[in-house]
């Protein structure tokens, strides 16, 4: 068999890459920097799936930040987030949630300036509340927040096991295939056994 031929049943299709989604919000005080922030997001390997400019009411902000209910800063947070329009972005890429959290930096912008000076919160934020951007904490919150900000859109659920299957196809199977092929070249199987 030549190098360009393919054995029957062996697919040469590129492996699928597992794409994770997360929600990003550009907060009211940096709305005028949206293009600049989006450029940084795209240069960091994200794809902007959906984008929406919205002005939430205090009640909608309370619903969105319901996990923060009861904390001392909750009233200030909902008042601030409803004080002007925001930009909601659904972002996609491999390992989106962790990558977006890293790009945002610590929630307190003053701390971010010291420990993560290249992060979005260090560059654009001014304090703990006015920290320029929001991001989903985990997969569950990302799914909930995306549905909240884009209620008319359909989100395709990721079937159970897809992430593991994609990881195997992307990283493990090519290595195994290369290793087993090399092993067969060096020590072919005995057809008489």
Tens-place pLDDT, residues 3-18: 444 434 444 444 445 5
pLDDT band at 26 (very low <50, low <70, confident <90, very high): very high
What is the C-alpha separation between 122 and 136, in angstroms, rounded?
18
Kindly state whether residue 41 falls inside one of the protein's structural domains.
yes
Kindly state whether residue 107 falls inside one of the protein's structural domains.
yes
H helix intervals, 33-81: 34-43, 58-64, 74-81
Q: Are strands 86-93 and 133-135 parallel, antiparallel or unpaired?
A: unpaired
Kindly state whether residue 51 falls inside one of the protein's structural domains.
yes
Structural domain tally of the chain? 1
Tens-place pLDDT, residues 141-168: 999 999 999 988 655 544 445 555 665 6
Kindly state whether residue 1 falls inside one of the protein's structural domains.
no
Kindly state whether residue 28 falls inside one of the protein's structural domains.
yes
Where in the sequence numbering do the catalytic residues fall? 134
| Range of the structural domain that residue 86 is part of | 20-149
Kindly state whether residue 180 falls inside one of the protein's structural domains.
no
Kindly state whether residue 6 falls inside one of the protein's structural domains.
no
Overall pTM > 0.75: no
CATH number of the domain encompassing residue 142: 3.30.70.141
Kindly state whether residue 110 falls inside one of the protein's structural domains.
yes
């Amino acid at each position: 068999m030549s190098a360009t031929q393919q054995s029957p049943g062996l697919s040469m299709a590129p492996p699928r890459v597992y794409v994770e989604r997360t929600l990003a919000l550009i907060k009211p005080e940096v709305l005028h920097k949206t293009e600049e922030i989006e450029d940084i997001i795209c240069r960091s390997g994200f794809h902007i799936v959906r984008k929406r400019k919205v002005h939430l009411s205090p009640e909608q902000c309370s619903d969105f930040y319901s996990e923060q209910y009861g904390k001392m800063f909750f009233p200030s947070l909902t008042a601030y987030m409803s004080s002007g329009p925001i930009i909601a972005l659904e972002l996609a890429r491999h390992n989106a949630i962790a990558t977006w959290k890293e790009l945002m930096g610590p929630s307190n912008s003053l701390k971010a300036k010291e420990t993560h000076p290249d992060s979005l919160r260090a560059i654009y934020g001014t304090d703990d509340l006015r920290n320029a951007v929001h991001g989903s904490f985990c997969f569950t919150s990302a799914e909930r927040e995306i549905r909240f900000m884009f209620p008319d859109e359909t989100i395709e659920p990721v079937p159970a096991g897809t992430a593991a299957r994609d990881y195997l196809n992307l990283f493990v199977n090519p290595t195994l295939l290369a290793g087993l092929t090399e092993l067969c070249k060096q020590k072919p199987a005995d057809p008489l056994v």
